[in-house]
Structure 1
Amino acid sequence: MEYREILENARKTMAPNCRVCRECNGIACRGEIPGTGGKGTGSSFTHSYEYLASIKIHMDLLYTDRGQDTSCSFFDKTFAGPVFAAPISGLSNNYNGYLNEKTYAEALVPGTIAAGCAAFTGDGAADYYFTDPLTAVAAAGGAAVPTIKPWDREKVLEKIHLAEQAGAMALCMDIDSAGLPLLAAAGKPVCSKDVDELKAILASTKLPFLLKGIMTPEGARKAVETGAYGIVVSNHGGRVLDHTPAPAEMLPAIRDAVGTRVKIFVDGAIRTGVDVFKALALGADAVLIGRPYVVAACGGGAEGVTVYTQKVLAELRDVMKMTGCATLSDITRDKITWNR
C-alpha cells in the first residue's frame, strides 16, 4: 500500500468531518469542535503548523558518512525512531465514526509496533474511551502508553490499575484536557492538578509516568518536582485554549529549564520527518503525532499506520543525511535557524 492510496481512501471514509487536506494545517477546520479543528479562531492549531514551517534547516554534505541511526530508548525499550502516535479519542464525536475507540486502537497499536515505534492511547467522557483501547494494548504485550484524563484521584487510580492489568509499558496524563469543551459539556469532573496531588498519583504506580500539556518552563520545573519520567510539550492540538504559542516555540526554553532531568516529548502540528528533525533540534527527545495517524488508520488500517510511520522515519533519515547527522544526538540547535 502506498501513502497516496491511504490518503485517497481516507478522503472517502472520513468525509465530511475531515477533508484530509494536502496540508493538515488547521485552516479548513478552524473552530470545528466537535470536529478536528482548533478552539475558537483556530490560531493555536494554525500557528503551531506555521511556526514549524518557518524553521530552516542547515544543509551540510562535507562529512564522513557513518549512516543514519534513528534508534532510541524509552521505558527500557528500544524503538526504531523517536516517533509515537498521540492519544486521540472521541472518534465518533470528532470524526465520523468510521472507526471507534476499539477499532482505531486495533489499527494504531499494532501498526506502530510493526514500524518499530509505539502509540499512546486515549481516554474520554465515556469509560469505554479508555477501556476499549486497552484490549489492543494487552494484545500487543503492553507496548503502548494509555493516557488518562485529569479526573478526580479515585478515578485516576482506578484507570492506572486497569492499565497495569493490560501490561502497559508506561502511563500518561494529559492535564491539558481540563480545558476540553466536550468534557465540560458532558459534566465530567476534570480539573487542574497541583504538584502534591500528582506526586501521590505517580507514587501509586511503578510504571514510568508522563505529564502532557506542559507549555512553560515553570510548568516543566513543576513537572520535575512530581517525579515524572517525562513531559509532553503540547497545547492539545490547539483544542483547549485559543492564541497559545506553538509547542515547538516553547521547546528551547523548556529544555534549558529542566536540562536532562526528564524526557521531553513534543506534540503539535508535526507531520513529517522534517518536522521531527526540527523538533529534536529544538530540544525534544521524541515527538507525538496526532491527526495524521487517524487519517492513516481510516485510509489503510494497521497497514496504513505502518506505512505512515515508516514514511516519517525515512524522511527523518533523509534530513539527517543532508545535515551530517549520524545519530539523534547529532541533531542539535546549530542545525537549524528559528525565530527565538
Structure 2
Amino acid sequence: MPSGDFQLAEPLNARRIVVAMSGGVDSSVVAALAAQTGAETIGVTLQLYDHGEAVGRAGSCCAGRDIRDARAVCDKLGIAHYVFDHASSFRETVIDDFADEYLAGRTPIPCVKCNMGPKFTDLFALARDLGADCLATGHYVQRVIGRAGPELHRGADPARDQSYFLFATTAAQLDYLRFPLGGMPKARVRELAAEIGLGVAAKPDSQDICFVPDRDYAGLVKKLRPEADTRGDIVDETGRKLGEHRGLIHFTVGQRRGLEIGGTPEPLYVVRLDAARREVVVGPKSALAVRAARIDGLNWLGAGYDAASDGPMSVKVRSLAKPVPARIEGDRVLFEMPEYGVAPGQAAVLYSGERVLGGGWIRETERAELIAN
C-alpha cells in the first residue's frame, strides 16, 4: 500500500502521527495509510456539538454515528482513538459566526472558519500535546515542497479539490500538516478502503454543513437569532419598492428564486443585501457584474507571489467556480473580466497555476461600470 504524503526524515517506527478522523471514508483511509508507514498512529475525533442532537443525522461529519464509525475503523487498524469535546469552541467560532454573518447580509463559509478554529488550531494543539510529528487529514489538496518550503496545491482530482476551503492555512500549520489523499481520485480512495476491509468503504459522502440538518440554514439562524426573521422590502436599485420579503436570511447575492416578483421585462436577481435597511436589492443580471472586490484578512501562504517566476494570478470567488484571471492591488482583487455572483462573506482565493497563494474574505464589491479600465 502506498504511504502517500508521509515522507519523514527519521525512521517511521520512531514517529507518531495524529489523524483527524470524521468517521468518513477519506479520513479512515488516511489512518490506514499512516498505520502502514510503521509510525505510531492515533485517531482523533472532535465532538463539535451535542450528541443527542446529532444521533441519526446521516451525512453529518460530527454526528454520533460518525464517531462510532471512526472508533470502529481504529479498532480494525489496531490504533488508538480519542474523542475530545470542543462543542463550546465550535459554537463560538463557527455556529455563532454563521448566524451573525447571515444576520449582517453576508453569505458565510463555515467550513473555512472550522478549519481556522477547531480543526487547524484546536487539533494542532491536541496533536502536539500527544507528541505527534505531524497531523494528517483527509482533505483533497496537495502539500508540495517549493523553493521556500511547503506549498499548498490543488488536489489532483478537480472534482474533489478542497483548496478553496484552506486558503487561511498558515505557513506553520502547513509545515505540520500532511494530506495523503491529495494526489488520488475519490474512486481510488474507496478501492483502498475496500481492500483494507473498512466498514466505511461505501459510506456516502457528507453533502451538508455538519451542524445544519436538511440544509435548513434559515431555520438554524432563526433559532439562534430570532430577530433574523424580520420582514422587509424588496427594492430595485433606485429604491423603488417591488415587493416584500420574510427575512434577509432567505437570500444571497445572485439568487433568482424566491423573489416572487412578476411583471418585469427581464428576470431579476439579488444584487445586494442591505442589513441596516432590511432591504433586498434586486436588478437585472447585468447588475451582478463586478470588476473588483475589497477583501479583509488577506493571508499570503508560503513565499508570496512573484509574477515573473510564478506566472499569471487567478482567483476563485465561490467554491464551485473556476479560477479567473485577476490581480491584487492593496486590499482589492481586480478581475480581468467582469465576474458574476460575487457575494460578501465568501472568500476570494488566489492561485498561481495549481498553487494556492492565499486569500481573504470578500467584504464589498464594486460594479463593473464603476471601475476604470
Report the TM-score, using the length of structure 1 for normalisation: 0.28
**Richer in helix (by share):** 1
Report the TM-score, using the length of structure 2 for normalisation: 0.26
Higher relative CO (Cα under 8 Å, sequence separation at least 6) belongs to 1
